[in-house]
Amino acid sequence: MIIVGDIGNTETKICLVNSKNIIIKRVTLITKKINYPLLKKSLSSLSLKDKVIDKCLFCSVVPKSFNEIKSFFNKTYKIKCTELKKLKLNKLIKIKVNYKQIGSDRLANAISVINNKDNFIILDFGTATTFDVLIKNTYHGGVIAPGVKLSLDTLSDKATQIPKISLKKTNKVVGLNTISAVRAGFFWGYEGLIDNIVNLIKKETKMSFKIIITGGFSNLFKNSTKTKVTLNKDITINGLIRATTLIK
């Protein structure tokens, strides 16, 4: 069995995967709350003392949390954890941009789907809204826009007249009150942002792409854009599973 995990700015997902690369258990934690007691309590459900773990791989954009998790697995179960960017990824993917400036989660997403025949744009609704461009077997860079939830929370925090709002799909553009106006602004604003950026990428590269969406608000937009998209909630984890083949 193997352990793979995605440490994001907001959430951390840790999965136990069997020999057939099927996720059999998963645990989700709030990244900023990760510490030894929380890990001990939360990961007890994985029953790791009864299992042989061959590999442990994480992608992380929060080094402090990865070090905490790495230390926990080593001290508690004698399991050595590796961070994705420590591997020789050029065996799986060619990277055209500055390697040090690409988030590990974005590399995991790319590794999950990349092949020698198709072009992809991966749209990830995380703390930031990111677009990653893959042409055949090469990562060509991407676009980073403000995250939906981060922007929504910031608006509520900075504007005293605007309450905390849960984002929902709205059929009307013109809101009749503060809540419906904000929902319309965010929903149709991001819908337009998605279509516009995808179209600009196509225009700039003069290529067609398969569009994959993932992350927190992907369900909200999967049937709402003019752009045809495919939803893949486990793209990051699947990329990590694929990358474990590089661990000796």
Q: Which residues are catalytic?
A: 105
CA dihedral 33, 34, 36, 41 (to 10 degrees): 80
Residue by residue, DSSP assigns 69-92 as HHHHHHHHH-PPPEEGGGS-GGGT
Residue 45 to residue 25: CA distance in whole angstroms: 8
Residue 106 to residue 214: CA distance in whole angstroms: 11
User: In whole angstroms, how large is the CA radius of gyration of the chain?
Assistant: 19
- CA distances 106 to 7, 61, 112, 227, Å, are 12, 10, 10, 21
**∠ CA 228-230-234 to the nearest 5 degrees?**
160
Beta bridge partners of 129: 125, 145
CB neighbours of residue 68 within 10 Å:
18
**∠ CA 39-40-43 to the nearest 5 degrees?**
70
**∠ CA 27-131-142 to the nearest 5 degrees?**
120
Phi, psi of 74 (to 5 degrees): -70, -45
